[in-house]
Chains A and B, each alone.
Chain A
Amino acid sequence: MNRLQQLFQQQQRELLSIYYTAGYPNLNDTLDIAEELEKAGADFLEVGFPYSDPVADGPIIQASSKQALDNGMTLAILFDQLKDLRQRVNIPILLMGYVNVVLQYGVEAFCQKCQEVGVDGCIIPDLPMYEYEELYQSTFEKYGLSNIFLVTPQTSEERIRKIDGLSNAFIYLVSSSATTGSNLAVSESATAYFKRIADMNLKSPVVIGFGISNKETYQAASQYASGAIIGSAFVKNIDANNLKGSIKGFMGQFK
């Protein structure tokens, strides 16, 4: 059982997860940010490895990804930075990014490295379920990595059941039909969707992301799930000149 699976098994309260882009604002901020987020109360983290063409992301994460690439970030550099991860950070870590970067690194090499540095799972939005099942699932499992699938308001019940069957940590519930960084309107249709999923009694816990930007939206989403993920709002708030202070400041609202 990896750290992520343990976290959900022992969970007492709603979880708060933070996404940030590795290599942003500066190339070597990766572990400092992780450490600071753990101190400030984050329960688990998604560390984004940047890609030139992030179609599922809105403007803020596109911009942080571009800056990270301009700073020279690569997957190889990221793994190098994460060598000391488990000396400094205890909470579960997921890597999040696009499939082409993983393919070029090599799927098996990627999984092996993840295990070596202590990464617990990954979110690869454009890796299709079919290819995962046919080609990659056995490799992911061999290295103890949890693959996290997304579910959207348009995902059919049949497909959600299938995703539930393939998941071994949690399901990432995309809050609305949007890219990252849009604002969650806690509307009737959104709550109806969250309730519909909750009523399905899935075996996997569900975490809501996309459009969660502050305490209000976090709490609204957490009512229907095991927790929520904040990405763009956190990235937007990072101040390169006051890295620790800006992280502390942002996280303070959730205390």
Chain B
Amino acid sequence: MNYFVDERGYYGDFGGAYIPEMLYPNVEELRQQYQVIIDDEQFQQEFKALLKDYVGRPSPLYLAKRLSDKYGANIFLKREDLNHTGAHKINNTIGQILLAEKLGKKRIIAETGAGQHGVATATVCALRGLECVVYMGEVDIKRQAPNVARMKMLGAKVVAATSGSKTLKDATNEAMRDWIANPVDTHYIIGSVVGPHPYPDMVAQFQSIISFETKKQLQEQTGKSLPDYVLACVGGGSNAMGMFYHFIDDESVKLIAVEAAGKGVDSGFSAATTTLGKEGVLHGSRSILMQTPDGQVVEPHSVSAGLDYPGIGPQHAHLFKTGRGLYASITDDEALQAGLLLTQYEGIIPAIESAHALAYLEKMQFKAGDNVVVCLSGRGDKDMETYMKYFNL
């Protein structure tokens, strides 16, 4: 079974480039160039140097002792929360800003939900001196004020998406409209493994550093490069794809993707795409998305803004449909409790997104000696207000 993109830009039944003609030249330019640029030695040197000296990679693989005792397995945390800007998002934005420079682009646009990808994009634009415009839902701008301020301080222009439900999917629509209007000088840095081909593959390659390092670190720490399980949360799915990437072809490694069930999968307030969604087209690729029987995209809900997306990347849809990955979901309550648990067992406050992956540990049965890697995709600083309200801190 091939779990990676084929020459048509598809993963099995999913993927492709369902874009209006106005976007075709931009996407086609990228499709023709991305692999050539990524494979270029000079590009790799620059990319790796920035990941090391600017982002702070490799991120540690930390054996969480007390958590391991609790669950009866060796629980390793891949510490993406320790990256510069506090999450895995920067791996992709570093890669894409270098790629945009090679393409001769002068202006960068991005969409953001909680603001993490927006901050990571604004950061690399400041680093390289490029103009930056970030689209963000009007609703999200109100609930994520600190990240809006960070982006502004970094020199980005934050534009409110006022269409539709005024959240992440609408910010993505607005970014696409901007790209339609600015086809020549602008590069669109998509923040997840979604969008038209080649984005899902390109973003997955930039995030694959997560599993690349993990393999080496596991070898050093356990004498085996392959774990029994890897877990990661999934909104669009970029940290999960980075965490899975170098394990996908090793079928002995069980891949577990954790979606946000919100208030419960049947509550009407959920973002559990594989449970609630159907096959269709969203934001340029064929995948699985939450929609009405008439094909209108349904507004998702999750306490964590980073998982509050009605679709998943096409490669995830393929891993789900083929059964290569297990796709589970965790409620808001379960995630928040898991966040508190990690904080009090290990002294690490996780992003609520990452806490969804941690929460799934409760539902698993381990054998003694199982090696389990959880991608701790981000830190919880940005979520303090939510934690404070929930736990009455």
Question: Which residues from chain A sit less than 8 Å from chain B, CB to CB?
Answer: 51-56, 58-59, 62, 66, 69, 74-76, 98-105, 125-128, 130-131, 149-152, 154-156, 159, 174, 177-179, 182
Contact = CB atoms under 8 A, between A and B. Distances in A.
A98 B281 CA distance: 9
Nearest to A66: B164
B137 interface: no
Interface string B12-33: 0000111111101100000000
Contacts of B24: 152, 154-155, 159
Of the candidates A53, A128, A151, A174, the one having the most CB atoms from chain B within 10 angstroms of its own CB is A53
Contacts of A128: 16-19
A103 to B, nearest CB: 6
Contacts, number: 111
A152 B296 contact: no
B297 interface: yes
Contacts of A178: 22, 180-181
B163 A149 contact: no
B183 A131 contact: no
Interface of B: 8, 16-22, 24-25, 163-164, 169-170, 173, 176-177, 180-184, 278-284, 289, 291, 293-297
B284 A126 contact: yes
A174 B25 CA distance: 14
Nearest to A154: B25
A103 B21 contact: no
16 contacts: A51-B296, A52-B164, A53-B169, A53-B297, A56-B22, A59-B163, A62-B164, A75-B294, A100-B289, A100-B291, A102-B295, A104-B278, A150-B20, A152-B183, A154-B183, A178-B181
A149 B170 CA distance: 25
B182 A177 contact: yes
Given A53-B169, A58-B177, A75-B295, 12 more contacts: A56-B22, A99-B281, A101-B294, A103-B281, A103-B295, A150-B21, A152-B21, A152-B22, A152-B24, A154-B22, A156-B25, A174-B21
A35 B269 CA distance: 42
Nearest to A103: B280
7 closest Cβ contacts across the A-B interface? A104-B295, A150-B21, A101-B295, A125-B20, A154-B25, A74-B294, A56-B20
Given A62-B163, A178-B181, A179-B177, A151 B293 contact: no
B38 to A, nearest CB: 23
Nearest to B18: A126
Contacts of A76: 294
Contacts of B16: 128, 130-131
Contacts of B283: 53, 55
Contact of B183 (A54, A62, A105, A177): A177
Of the candidates B19, B21, B176, B283, the one having the most CB atoms from chain A within 10 angstroms of its own CB is B21
B304 to A, nearest CB: 22
Nearest to A76: B294
Contact of B180 (A56, A151, A155): A56
Nearest to A105: B295
A156 B295 CA distance: 32
Contact of B19 (A126, A156, A177): A126
B14 to A, nearest CB: 13
A179 B181 contact: yes
Given A149-B21, A152-B22, A177-B181, A51 B282 contact: no
A79 B22 CA distance: 29
Contacts of B294: 74-76, 101, 104-105
Contacts of B20: 55-56, 125-126, 150
Given A53-B169, A69-B296, A104 B22 contact: no
Contacts of A156: 25
